[in-house]
Structure 1
Amino acid sequence: MMLSLAAAALWFLVATAIAFTPSRDYHWRAAYVLIAVGLPILAGVFWQNGPWAGLAVLAGALSILRWPAIYLLRWLRKCARPRG
């Protein structure tokens, strides 16, 4: 197993453990940390294992971080809307 896939598996285990703990801010601080740590891991998976493995890890990460992804898509859609 490649080191990047092992790191991605560890990232998923930590993210799942964080999801089980109670939080006052609905896990937003943890989501920021998970994104900051997960992006280099995702880049490593793409680099070492190819696009299909990278897309699989990306899909899994988006399933865990669905609300930050939804808010990002809403913000991008709002920014892309023509003003007038």
Structure 2
Amino acid sequence: MALIALCLWVVLAWVLQTVLTARQSWPAAYGLIACGLPLVAWLWLSMSALWALLGLGVMALVLRWPLRYAVRWLKARLT
């Protein structure tokens, strides 16, 4: 069931990416992150840590730009 939820999350991310403008995509990304973190925990609890890491990897591929900005922000804070 958790894998089906992950697939639906990916489909939702794709639909949001095709429908929304660039200005609307950041709030959508925050919403996807907020839905994705409990989904990773669900994958971990129901399947295993390997599946949770794979799900997290899929989410990182889908949300690559927010991830890049977060890494840049952390680098700027640490230096």
TM-score, with length taken from structure 2: 0.89
Match of 2:30 in 1: 32
Match of 2:42 in 1: 44
Aligned-pair identity in percent equals 33
- What amino acid is the match of 2:13? A
SS in 2 for 1:27: helix
Q: Hey, what's the Cα distance between the residues in 1 that align with 2:20 and 2:77?
A: 33
Q: Hey, what's the Cα distance between the residues in 1 that align with 2:12 and 2:33?
A: 12
Q: CA deviation at 1:79?
A: 1.6
How much is the aligned-residue C-alpha RMSD, in angstroms? 1.3
TM-score, with length taken from structure 1: 0.84
- What amino acid is the match of 2:42? G
Match of 2:73 in 1: 75
Where in structure 2 are there 5+ consecutive unaligned residues? none
1:56-75, aligned counterparts within 5 Å? Answer: 56-75=54-73
Q: CA deviation at 1:22?
A: 3.7
Q: CA deviation at 1:24?
A: 4.3
Match of 1:13 in 2: 11
User: Which is higher, the Rg of structure 1 or of structure 2?
Assistant: 1
> Structure 1 runs of 4+ off > 2 angstroms?
none
- What amino acid is the match of 1:74? R
Moved more, 41-50 or 60-69: 41-50
More helix per residue: 2
